[in-house]
Amino acid sequence: MDKLRVLVTGAKGQLGVDLVQQFTNSGYEVFGYSRQELDITNFQQVKETLQMVSPNVVIHSAAHTKVDLAESEPDEAFRVNALGTRNIAVASEEIGAKLVYISTDYVFNGQVSQPYDEFMPTNPLGVYGRSKLAGEQFVQALHSRFFIVRTSWVYGLHGANFVKTMLKLAEDKSELNVVHDQIGSPTFTIDLACFIGELMLSDLYGVYHASNKGTCSWFEFAKAIFEEAHLTHMKVNPVTTAEFPRPAPRPAYSVMDHMAIRLNGLNDLPFWRDSLKRFIQQYQKSTL
C-alpha cells in the first residue's frame, strides 16, 4: 500500500508544527504549508496545490487566531477563517480527500454551567468565534467526509501561549494578577495531534470536542504552571474579567464535554495537569 499522504495548512503554527512532526514520525508523506507558502484565501492557489499534492487527508489548522485583533478587522478574520476554510473544503472534496478542520470553544457563548457537548447549539460572542463557526458551516455544507475538531486553551512548544507567557513573566516578576472567573480546559498540542492522528484514520465523521480532561480557571492554571516549574517565589492573585477589559469578549465557561469521543469509542486526551507537567519538562529541556 502507498504511504498515506497528509497535507497540513498552518504548518508553522503552534499545532501545525506538532502535526507535521507527528505524522512524519508515523511514516506518512507529509506536506506542510505555512501562510507564506499557501495563501488559503486564494482559491486558485489552494485548488492547484491540493491537485498537485493529491493528499488522502487535509488537516486545516491555518487560521486568524488573534482574538482581540479580529474585533477591529472583521473582514480579515472572515476572509481567512470563513472563506479560506471554504476554499480548503471545496478543493479537498474535489480530490476526494478527508478533511479535518480545527475549530474552537469560542463558537459557544460560555453562559452555561454544564459542559458543552457536540450537539448543543452554538452562539459565539465575538468576531473570532463567528468567523470560525462560519468555517464550520462551510465544511458541513461543502464536504462529505469531514471531522470538525473543537479545542480550547491550546499551548505547545512552538509559538506564543499562556504557559510560555507565565514562565517568561516569572523571570522578572514575583507577583501576577490572573482572572479567576473564566473556566475551561487547557490543551497540550502534542495530545491534540495524537488524537487527530487517530481520528483521521477512521471513517467516524462529524464534530468532536477535544481538549485535555478536567477543568480550571486561568488563575488555577497559572498557579499550576508555577508549581510544576518549581517557581515557588511566584504569587498569583485572582481578579475578575471586569478588572481586565479586552477588546474581544471571552466565554466565561467554555468547558467541553467529549461526548463524540465517548460515543465513538475513541481514546480521550489525558488529564490537563499531567499534560502540563510533561510540557514543562520538555520546555525546560528545550531552553537549556
Q: Which residues are catalytic?
A: 128
* Interhelix angle 272-286/162-169, nearest 10 degrees: 60
- Pairing of β 187-188 and β 5-9: unpaired
165 half-sphere exposure, CB direction, 13 A CA radius: 11
CA distances from 80 to 10, 125, 128, 143, 214 (A): 11, 18, 10, 18, 31
Quick one: the chain helix, strand, coil %, rounded to 5?
Answer: 45, 20, 40
C-alpha cell at 73: 478587522
Question: What are residue 210's phi and psi, to 5 degrees?
Answer: -135, 105
Whether 111 and 253 have beta carbons less than 8 Å apart is answered as yes
